[in-house]
Chains A and B, each alone.
Chain A
Amino acid sequence: MGVAITGMGIISAIGHSVEENKTSLLASKTGIGDLRHIQTNHSQAIKVGEVSLSNAELTRQLQLPEVHNYTRTGLLGLLAATAALENANIPDCSTYRTGFISSTTVGGMDMTEKYIKQFDKDITAQKYIATHHAGDSTRKIADALRIHGLVTTISTACSSAANAIMLGTRLIKAGKLDRVVVGGTDALSKFTINGFKTLMIQSDSLCAPFDAHRNGLNLGEAAAYLVLESDAVVQKEKKEVLAYLSGYGNANDAFHQTASSENGEGAFLAMQKALKTAKLNPNQIDYIIAHGTATTNNDLSESRALERIFDKQIPDFSSTKSLTGHTLAAAGVVEAVFSILALQEQYIFPNLNFKTPMPETGLKPITSGVKKEIQHVLSNSFGFGGNCSTLIFSKA
């Protein structure tokens, strides 16, 4: 059946809890809008999926001391990871062998970009010298959760969190851990906004995944975590299982540093491997939460890969990035939470802003939310560097 998922936590542009995210998803309410927390010349030219809480508000909510050196990446991560453990009803991580596997692309960049020119003299800025690296937020969250053993960070661009979930699953299956908190966190930064700007794949309006006239992505920020537990722990503790992680696959497109291949080879291989580990046939997949960034390149490449795997019988699919924006490292786990909600609610979430099918494939995503019997959800995450990962979630 796979590995049991017994808890989840999330903070995104569409809500600060699982409940709020679910409400927005069921109401087709997007979180994409104008940028508020970052000073940039591009603020009028982009739309983003920003978490509405400021760092000061997050600090208060987390009951941290006023003076600390958490980056925004760390604050978002701590909020979501704490919520995931609460949801799994785990007050104490020392009872079982527990690990923490996080992921991020920019790490502490949100503070580095603010303070780098003050690092030499300004004592108040210097506390952020040590917070730049990707492992900093992970270590802080692990310490706060009192997880001391297996703690790590994966950074494979936009497939990072999917790989974190995959590693946690493999460690549980191999018997190296009893419990593991897996996921990722990424805060918006001027660095990323300008980076995607230079690539000219950032839309100035609301993104339209899989649409013929799509003109790029909306960046977002989020953090989300799942709690995975071994069958032995689930039985012993009589845990309620939210869903099972039944399949996973990781492959490389080996085509270009940033662009996806025309036939979506990496995506195809990742989905193929995931179906194989889940021991499922393509026709058993009821719903796909696509990577669907709304860039010209990704959506066509992913569509081609879907056509190849599902042989023109493509299941219902949608990209929820039209609600949350592209949350980079966190995307894989944000969409994992949505996959689990889809299984729990037996509901397909809408792909907003879609009007016209792209001429190359004619594929139409689901554009308004709909009830459906769902046993298995497939979720894709692809990144720079050709990193492609697929996860399959199955009904508990």
Chain B
Amino acid sequence: MKKVYIHSAVTISAQDTFDSDGFLNEIKGLSGKTVAARYPNYKDYITPANLRRMAEGVKMGVSAASKALKDAEITQPDAIITGTGMGCIDDTEKFLNAIISNDEQFLTPTAFIQSTHNTVGAQIALGLKCKAYNNTYSQAALSFEWALMDAQLLLQQEEAENVLVGGYEELGKEIISYRRMMEDADGLGIQVPYSEGASFFVVSSEKTEHSVELIDMEVYSSISTESIQDSLKQFLTKNDVDLSEIDVFISGRNGDVFDSYYDLTAELFENITQLHYKHLSGEFYTASPFGLWAAYEILYRQEIPEAMIFKGEIKSDNHIILLYNQFKGRDHSFILLKR
């Protein structure tokens, strides 16, 4: 079975992560109910005619995908796979509101056409004239992870050599405000703002000087707090990795009551460097690839940003990173990386 390597990692987020060559050196503190991403200069990636039509998620997705391909020096991937929890919610709300306010009359198709979840994958394929395998996942906080698992499967089974894989989410206006309202009504709810972003990666079956190995990953629709430790142990055993070999543990902490899952997992380790990132990225269904981007950068640069420290010390020589994310006690994912 072929191994899987990450060749490039790109993220557009609430932080200066896209245009900057630095690695989370200048941090923007996030506060409020929702925080928009820091949008790049889209004109570098998208023609003006297309820019006018595209909603934010599509613009972010296409730009991040384009840079991920460029960084990996790939012009035509063998597959394009995306993940999104809410899809093109901006155009969805736009079309729905036009139906409601105009009583189903005088509607134009543009927003409807671009409201489908596969719009980003389609626009990337269209831009590249890429006729290869193309797929889109939408499973809440596992949307990106499923896209990555599909890529892993394609590479392992030798159905592809280079796969473009990414996740994107846009805030939209209406449903996000109601989701926030419900969240804030719950005293133990998510303690970071809702945000948005796009993260894209080129994964390959070929090892290069700069690549980071994706040892393995696993997803679970549900796990109880009682069995989370065993699930992690089983995952590591399956991959012949001992708990003591893991240098860094990156969790998707967002301050809600379900952070207990991360606490239980961290108990398994002694003196491990614990990092977190959702205070930097905000929370959204595809926030977890921000963590994967950071993990790639940590292994690639051998540098850990101060702002990511949750507990423990920064050590040198970091080789194996474990990422763990879940959302409200559901949709758990483990990702194991090595350099």
**Interface residues, chain A, CB within 8 Å of chain B?**
40-42, 100, 105, 107, 109, 112-113, 116-117, 119-120, 126, 129-130, 132-136, 138-139, 142-143, 147-157, 163, 167, 170-171, 173-174, 176, 190-191, 194-195, 197-199, 250-258, 265-266, 269, 383-387
Contact = CB atoms under 8 A, between A and B. Distances in A.
A325 B86 CA distance: 27
B291 interface: no
B108 to A, nearest CB: 6
A155 B112 contact: no
B157 interface: yes
Given A135-B143, A195-B95, A157 B87 contact: no
Contacts of B125: 252, 254, 385-386
A130 B143 contact: no
Contact of B150 (A100, A132, A151, A167): A167
Interface stretch (B20-28, B193-201, B216-224, B243-251): B216-224
Given A116-B96, A151-B139, A156-B136, A134 B87 contact: yes
A269 B136 CA distance: 19
A153 B138 contact: yes
Contact of B118 (A41, A190, A384): A384
Interface string B222-257: 110000000000000000000000000000000000
Given A120-B181, A135-B143, A138-B139, 8 more contacts: A113-B99, A120-B178, A130-B179, A152-B139, A155-B137, A156-B121, A157-B117, A252-B122
A130 B182 contact: yes
B104 A40 contact: yes
B121 A171 contact: no
B60 to A, nearest CB: 17
Interface in B53-108: 80, 85-87, 92, 95-96, 99-100, 103-105, 107-108
A266 B179 CA distance: 38
Contact of B116 (A100, A117, A136, A385): A385
Interface string B145-162: 010001001001100000
4 cross-chain pairs, A with B, having the tightest CB-CB distances, nearest first = A385-B122, A155-B117, A195-B112, A151-B221
Given A119-B178, A120-B181, A387-B118, A133 B96 contact: no
B182 A126 contact: yes
B219 A150 contact: yes
A133 B181 CA distance: 17
A167 B154 CA distance: 10
Interface string B162-190: 00000000000011001101100000000
Nearest to B84: A155
B157 A112 contact: no
Contacts of A176: 153
B231 to A, nearest CB: 10
19 contacts: A116-B100, A126-B182, A133-B140, A138-B139, A148-B221, A153-B137, A155-B137, A170-B153, A170-B157, A171-B153, A173-B157, A190-B104, A191-B95, A197-B107, A252-B131, A257-B114, A383-B116, A384-B122, A385-B121
A138 B140 CA distance: 10
A199 B115 CA distance: 13
B179 A143 contact: no
A109 to B, nearest CB: 8
A256 B114 CA distance: 12
B131 A152 contact: no
B107 A194 contact: yes
B109 to A, nearest CB: 4
The prevalent SS among residues of B at the interface is: mixed
B132 interface: yes
B190 to A, nearest CB: 13
Contacts of A385: 116, 118-119, 121-122, 125, 134
A43 B125 CA distance: 36
Given A155-B87, A194-B99, A254 B130 contact: yes
Given A174-B157, A257-B126, A41 B135 contact: no
Given A132-B175, A156-B135, A139 B140 contact: yes
A135 B140 contact: yes
A384 B87 CA distance: 14
B221 A147 contact: yes
B90 to A, nearest CB: 13
B265 interface: no
A253 B219 contact: no
Contacts of A190: 99, 104
A133 B131 contact: no
Nearest to B120: A385
B159 to A, nearest CB: 8
A43 to B, nearest CB: 10
A41 B122 contact: no
Nearest to B114: A257
Contact of B134 (A133, A198, A258, A387): A387
Contact of B131 (A142, A149, A153, A254): A254
A198 B94 CA distance: 14
B96 to A, nearest CB: 6
B293 to A, nearest CB: 22
A194 B112 contact: yes
Contacts of A134: 87, 117, 138-139
B335 to A, nearest CB: 15
A112 B174 CA distance: 11
A171 to B, nearest CB: 7
A256 B126 CA distance: 7
B6 interface: no
A135 B114 contact: no
Contact of A252 (B103, B115, B130, B330): B130
A116 B92 CA distance: 12
A42 B134 contact: no
B42 interface: no
Contacts of B136: 154-156, 387
A330 B86 CA distance: 19
A138 B146 CA distance: 14
Contacts of A252: 80, 122, 125, 130-134
A363 to B, nearest CB: 24
B128 interface: yes
Nearest to B121: A385
A155 B138 contact: yes
B214 interface: no
